[in-house]
Amino acid sequence: MLALFSTVDLALRIYMWIIIGSAIFSWLYAFNVVNAGNRFVGMIGEFLYKATEPALRPIRRILPNLGGLDISPIVLLLIIYFIRAFMWNSIYPMVS
């Protein structure tokens, strides 16, 4: 059972880093730090968008419009943190 919990925890940690990378990439893209015409940069941006948008879209629908400020990645990171803490502190002790 420990192997299952460790694997799920690792997947959630990797996804947290993908969310952080997506947020940083969007800032770099918005401020023209990265070359938008570069194919490699475009591939990275497309991967990050496709990996994070399905989880961020429902959160954006619920949150109020804050103008140009998008806090949906922060909300998603908090949700993932809660899931990880709940998994290790509540579920794992009951099944081990």
Q: Enumerate the domain spans of the chain.
A: 2-95
pLDDT higher than 80, residue 96:
no
Specify the 3-state DSSP secondary structure of 29. Answer: helix
Taking alpha carbons only, the member of 39, 35, 78, 37 closest to residue 55 is 78
The residues, ordered by sequence, that sit 6+ positions from 95 with a Cβ below 8 Å of its Cβ are 1
pTM of structure: 0.91
- Contacts of residue 70, Cβ cutoff 8 Å, sequence gap at least 6: 60
Q: Is the model's pLDDT at 73 over the cut of 80?
A: yes
Which H or E run includes 1? none
What pLDDT is stored for residue 59 in this prediction?
97
Residue 1 has a pLDDT of 87
pLDDT of 85: 97
